[in-house]
């Protein structure tokens, strides 16, 4: 009985590693988006509204992609 539980637990390890890599990649991507937006706003303050809107849309799409990858990886 305990062997079956151990085999099931070890088969989940690659999935957990993949999910961790997805989360790390999404975090790095969101940081890059934020950094680029702040640099753009610093260079052109008059365009801050358009830059913020684009940043929020791209960040939402990236988060959606990360969530989809995690959920698809579980199945």
pTM of the full predicted structure? 0.75
pLDDT at 39: 97
| pLDDT tens track for 45-60 | 999 999 999 999 999 9
Give me the DSSP letters along 7-60.
HHHHHTHHHHHHHHHHHHHHHHHHHHHHHHHHHHHHH-GGGHHHHHHHHHHHHH
As its CATH architecture, domain 2-74 has: Up-down Bundle (1.20)
């Amino acid at each position: 009985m305990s062997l079956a539980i151990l085999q099931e637990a070890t088969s989940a390890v690659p999935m957990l590693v993949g999910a961790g890599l997805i989360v790390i990649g999404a975090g790095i991507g969101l940081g890059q988006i934020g950094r680029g937006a702040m640099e753009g706003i610093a260079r052109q303050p008059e365009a801050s509204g358009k830059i913020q809107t684009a940043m929020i849309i791209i960040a939402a799409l990236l988060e959606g992609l990360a969530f989809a990858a995690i959920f698809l990886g579980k199945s």
